[in-house]
Amino acid sequence: MSNGSPFLIKICGLSTPETLEAALAAGADMIGLNFHPKSPRYVTLERAKELAAIARGKTEIVALIVDWSEQQAAELAAALNPDWFQFHGRETPEQIAALRRAVRRPVMKALGIATAEDLKAVTGYRDAADLVLLDAKPPKDAAFPGGHGKPFDWGLLGGLDPSQRFMLSGGLDPANVAEAVQVTHPAGVDVSSGVESAPGIKDPHRIAEFIAAARKAAAAGQESSSA
């Protein structure tokens, strides 16, 4: 793991108290609340406040937004008081830096990866964001960002600067997350559709399975690196 920091497991796109409680019970380090209206995981501010009240102090709350202005982001920060912001749009490094100043919280920037060329963008966000989240590029006709349940070629990350701290996302699920951790050595993993029974419907059992598998793989990686 990077810099000896704790391994992070994020369950994104939660939208009900029941599935949020399942994520908390399973030991999620972060939970994501999706404010992109076109996503099947979209939550209103009212619902987000309800979920945040349950999660606060037990896990880190991440607000996911797409191409918002600094004012919009600052207003959400004041209304919801999340621990992190996740930017999942076309935000430039300069915009990310300005947004981070506006929200006054740590921020992560999601970047879509499909080819080795896409990795070149990572360097530009190194100083602007506290963390980068490497996701699969969405299909060209997709209505919303994200990996849409499909992983990218993890072998591409062999070309990444070894000192670059990142979270891995895109097509992860309980069956493949252990391999993903072993291959890519991320600072953490992020999952949404991979723990769902239908688009936007989280499955508590899959959440528990995913977290257990990811945690076991991360622990094994830490043991082998310290041996």
Give tens-digit pLDDT for 179-224. 999 999 999 999 999 999 999 999 999 999 999 999 999 999 877 6
| Whole-number average pLDDT of the chain | 92
Helix (H) or strand (E) run with residue 134 in it: strand 131-136
Q: In DSSP terms, which residues pair with 202 in a beta bridge?
A: 196
CA-to-CA distance for 207 and 25, rounded, in angstroms? 10
Q: What is the DSSP string of 50-64?
A: HHHHHHBTTBEEEEE
Nearest to 218 by CA among 61, 22, 9: 9
More confident residue, 158 or 85: 85
130, pLDDT greater than 90 = yes
Cα-trace Rg, the chain: 16
Q: What is the CATH number of the domain that holds 76?
A: 3.20.20.70
As given in the structure block, the two tokens for residue 43 are: 């939550």
CA-to-CA distance for 41 and 37, rounded, in angstroms? 8
What band does 167 get if pLDDT is binned at 50, 70 and 90? very high
Which residue type is seen at 218?
A
67 catalytic per annotation: no
Q: Choosing from 135, 141, 173, 190, which is the catalytic residue?
A: 135
Domain that holds residue 7: 2-226
203 catalytic per annotation: no
Which distant-in-sequence residues (6+ apart) come within 8 Å of 125 by Cβ? 93, 96, 109, 111, 132
Q: Choosing from 12, 127, 141, 153, which is the catalytic residue?
A: 12
Q: Assess contact for 16 and 202: CB atoms under 8 A.
A: yes
Domain count, the chain: 1
What band does 3 get if pLDDT is binned at 50, 70 and 90? very low
35, pLDDT greater than 70 = yes
pLDDT over 90, % of the chain: 84
Task: Please report the sign of the dihedral spanned by the C-alpha atoms of residue 25, residue 29, residue 35, residue 36.
Answer: negative
CA-to-CA distance for 100 and 23, rounded, in angstroms? 27
